[in-house]
């Protein structure tokens, strides 16, 4: 079946797990006009498991908002979904009134950032990412995030971090396969696979990063605030080919600024 408009699950605090399996024909197509509304919004939910599903802004011709927004939620998982053809970012995982934690998301994200008016940044497109983690009042903690992120001319694959003391990302495990992220912007903005910034990015483990054909770097830390440390963050395994195609990035593929620990990484 096809779900039109914004599908919102709000305050679904369950005492035990509920599972929802979407078959191959299930579509979430969003609002029909270009409003900044997601096709799927999960707010203050817990103990939900979703499997499958195709999420897009196809009802508006790719002009509406972010594909999936999850905020203030704990113990929510969604495996096997696809997000594509959306006006804003692909997925936004965050905390607005409280932190989100124990999220478990595994899916495919592509072709986001069709409508650059949703980007508040001066250089349009640099603020619309495949997956945006935290970047609000509160953060995202103790979660597992695994994505194939590909084929976009906006933003980076996954951006993670926050600008206020209560925000940030802590204790997450992340798996990324990034391909064909091709935005070219000045001052090394966008086009990276993993991009950390701001403050309170701590104890995160990038278990796997594969980066292929990127204008940016496989791992970029240039946006961290000056007094912040990434010494408790690490990249366990990383491989990169044809990255840093934007000359503004220089030649550094695995960015050690702020102290990220790299265990087994290589570039060619």
Q: Per-residue pLDDT tens for 186-212?
A: 888 999 999 999 999 999 999 999 999
Q: Six-digit token pair at 230?
A: 């990434």
Cβ-in-10-Å burial (0-12, 13-18, 19+) of 232 comes to: middle
Q: Strand pairing of 158-162 and 131-134?
A: parallel
pLDDT of residue 108: 98
What is the Cα–Cα distance from 147 to 153, expressed in whole angstroms?
17
Q: Which token pair is 28?
A: 């979430």
What does each C-alpha distance from 204 to 19, 78, 200, 256 come to in angstroms? Answer: 28, 20, 10, 15
- Average pLDDT of the chain is 97
Q: Indicate whether 128 pLDDT > 90.
A: yes
How far apart are the C-alpha atoms of 104 and 49, rounded to whole Å? 9
Task: Encode 68-86: b = buried (16+ Cβ within 10 Å), e = exposed.
Answer: bbbbbbbbbbbeebbbbbb
Q: What is the pLDDT of residues 46-95, one digit of tens each?
A: 999 999 999 999 999 999 999 999 999 999 999 999 999 999 999 999 99
What region does 191 belong to: left with phi over 0, alpha with psi -120 to 50, or beta? left
DSSP conformation letters of 16-39: EEEEEE--TT-EEEE-SS--S--S
What pLDDT is stored for residue 246 in this prediction? Answer: 96
pLDDT of 187: 87
Radius of gyration in angstroms for the set of CA atoms belonging to the chain, rounded to a whole number: 17
Query: Above 90 in pLDDT, residue 15?
Result: yes
Q: Measure the CA–CA gap between 267 and 34, rounded to whole angstroms.
A: 40
pLDDT tens-digit map of 237-263? 999 999 999 999 999 999 999 999 999
pTM to 2 decimals? 0.97
pLDDT of residue 188: 87
- DSSP letter assigned to residue 61: T
| pLDDT tens-digit readout, 130-187 | 999 999 999 999 999 999 999 999 999 999 999 999 999 999 999 999 999 999 998 8
Mean pLDDT of 24-29: 96
């Amino acid at each position: 079946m096809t779900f039109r408009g914004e599908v919102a699950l709000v305050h679904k605090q369950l005492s035990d797990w509920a599972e929802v399996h979407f078959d191959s024909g299930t579509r979430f197509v969003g609002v029909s006009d270009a409003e900044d509304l997601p096709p799927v919004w999960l707010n203050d939910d817990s103990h939900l498991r979703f499997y499958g599903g195709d999420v897009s802004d196809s009802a508006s011709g790719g002009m509406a908002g972010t594909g999936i927004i999850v905020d203030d939620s704990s113990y929510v998982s969604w495996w096997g979904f696809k997000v594509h053809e959306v006006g804003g970012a692909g997925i936004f995982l965050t905390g607005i009134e409280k932190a989100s934690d124990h999220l478990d998301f595994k899916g495919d994200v592509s072709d986001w950032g069709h409508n650059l008016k949703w980007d508040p940044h001066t250089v349009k497109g640099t603020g619309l990412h495949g997956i945006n983690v935290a970047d609000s009042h509160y953060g995202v903690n103790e979660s597992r995030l695994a994505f194939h992120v590909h084929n976009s001319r906006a933003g980076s694959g996954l951006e993670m971090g926050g600008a206020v003391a209560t925000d940030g990302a802590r204790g997450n495990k992340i798996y990324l396969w990034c391909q064909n992220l091709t935005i070219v912007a000045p001052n090394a903005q966008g086009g990276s696979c993993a991009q950390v910034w701001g403050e309170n990015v701590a104890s995160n483990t990038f278990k796997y990063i594969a980066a292929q054909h990127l204008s940016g770097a496989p791992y970029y830390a240039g946006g961290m605030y000056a007094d912040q440390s990434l010494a408790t963050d690490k990249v366990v395994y990383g491989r990169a080919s044809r990255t840093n195609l934007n000359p503004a990035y220089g030649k550094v593929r695995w960015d050690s600024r702020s102290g990220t620990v790299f265990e087994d990484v290589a570039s060619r």
